[in-house]
Amino acid sequence: MFISFSAMAGGESQMKELEALVSSIRPIEGELIKKTQERLDRKTKPMRSLGRLEDLACRYCAARATLEPTLPKKALVVMAADHGVASEGVSAYPQEVTRQMLLNFAHGGAAINALARQVSAELVVVDMGVVEALPASAGVRACRIGAGTQNMTRGPAMSVPQAKQAILAGAGIARELADGGFSLMGIGEMGIANTTAASALLVAYTGVPITEATGRGTGIDDAILARKVQVIERAIAVNRPDRAKPLEVLAKLGGFEIAGLAGVILSAAAGRVPVIIDGFISGAAALAAIKIAPAARDYLVASHRSAENGHGLLLEALELQPLFDLNLRLGEGSGAALAMNFVDAAIRILAEMATFESAGVSDKTASK
């Protein structure tokens, strides 16, 4: 299930870099999970009574390869790009909203800004390729692969070299963050029509029916939803994605921000940094990432189950159980930011609680 190099038409060095990245990802060690659980079991609480918070602590420690974690230094990477398929009329919003929202992120006025502030996460906003570039003064990091993808109903959304370039751009950002001491990342996205791309990827990677993989995105009505399903049908018929070639699937049906986020995941995993996925689109990026490098799955945390139709199937394909379901359907990394509170809580439990011995508390009765 690793990269199908036959499909890679790009430069030799790009290919080597991606190959090296994928092969540098190591599965997490079960022994570290076990040892962290043993430490939790000595804390003054009934065994396993903090449920999935304990699992989070174990997974975080195993990912970080430490038994003495400190509170994570957190970054949220939010990538935006435009989608050629938007011209098919699959969204409730006009395409210029992608760029407008990027500026809103830069100015601090979006939901993700408020939520990133709450968890003290560094917010990294990346232009992976909106139609019209932003001025350098906007404070948005430019990693533009192009002025939006092509319309996937007429051919591939991007070329394989573009997909590789986007992955490596995301990987570079994650590497910088890991080198800067960030120990927990969250991912989010913005891109008018990108639920269409995400649904198409889910269908191509898993074979689920298009209608079950397709939802209302930002809030489309029945007529647009029917059109969206037809658009995905055409995109699949035209591109004939082969799931044995995961990178090619990503190129044909994905988006620059989706490929970029897949790169963030691969590089974070290589650097032993857990990544919190947000909703449907960042989930599709995660699916692409684990199809390219299955070991990356060990570093993923699913934040929430969104209101988007198809997200349940996507989480099943990722084999991840979300932490909460608040009927969110915003994207931007909003759910990932909220989930960071749970990771902080899990690490505090591990780092700050007394043990039965240190607190002089009796453990279970022996009378059982």
Q: Is the CB of residue 288 less than 8 Å from the CB of residue 160?
A: no
- Minimum distance from residue 135 beta carbon to its own copies (Å): 14
If the CB atoms of residues 124 and 346 are measured against its own copies, the closer one turns out to be: 346
Among 20-28, 89-97, 137-145, 168-176, the segment contacting its own copies (CB under 8 A): 89-97
Binding-site member from 17, 41, 212, 344 for its own copies (CB under 8 A): 344
Dump strand ranges (E) for 43-82. Answer: 74-81
Instruction: Identify the residue among 59, 60, 104, 140 touching its own copies (CB under 8 A).
Output: 104
Chain centroid to CA 55: how far?
20
Residue with Cβ nearer its own copies (170 or 188): 188
- Residue 118 touching its own copies (CB under 8 A): yes
Tell me how far the alpha carbon of residue 312 is from its chain's centroid. Answer: 15
DSSP lists the bridge partners of residue 76 as: 123, 186
332 noted as active-site residue: yes
Does 163 bind its own copies (CB under 8 A)? Our answer is: no
Closest C-alpha to 24, from 181, 161, 175, 243 = 175
State in angstroms the smallest separation of the CB of 19 from its own copies: 39
Q: What is 210-252 written as a DSSP string?
A: HHHH---TTT--HHHHHHHHHHHHHHHHHH---TT-HHHHHHH
- Mark residues 221-260: x for contact with its own copies by CB under 8 A, - for none: x--x------------------------------------
From the list 218, 225, 233, 312, which residue makes contact with its own copies (rule: CB under 8 A)? Answer: 218
Q: Least distance to its own copies from the beta carbon of 55, Å?
A: 9
From residue 257, give the alpha-carbon distance in Å to each of 16, 43, 58, 145.
Answer: 22, 42, 30, 9
Q: Which residues make beta-bridge pairs with 355? A: 43
In the complex, minimum distance from the CB of residue 51 to its own copies, in angstroms, rounded to a whole number: 3
Q: Would you say 126 or 190 has its CB closer to its own copies?
A: 190
16 in contact with its own copies (CB under 8 A): no
Q: Which of 193, 227, 224, 215 lies closest to 94 in space, CA to CA?
A: 193
241, 147 Cβ separation under 8 angstroms: no
Question: How many residues bind to its own copies according to rule CB under 8 A?
Answer: 67
Q: Is 115 in the site for its own copies (CB under 8 A)?
A: yes
Which is the catalytic residue, given 88, 189, 248, 332? 332
As annotated, the active-site residues are: 332
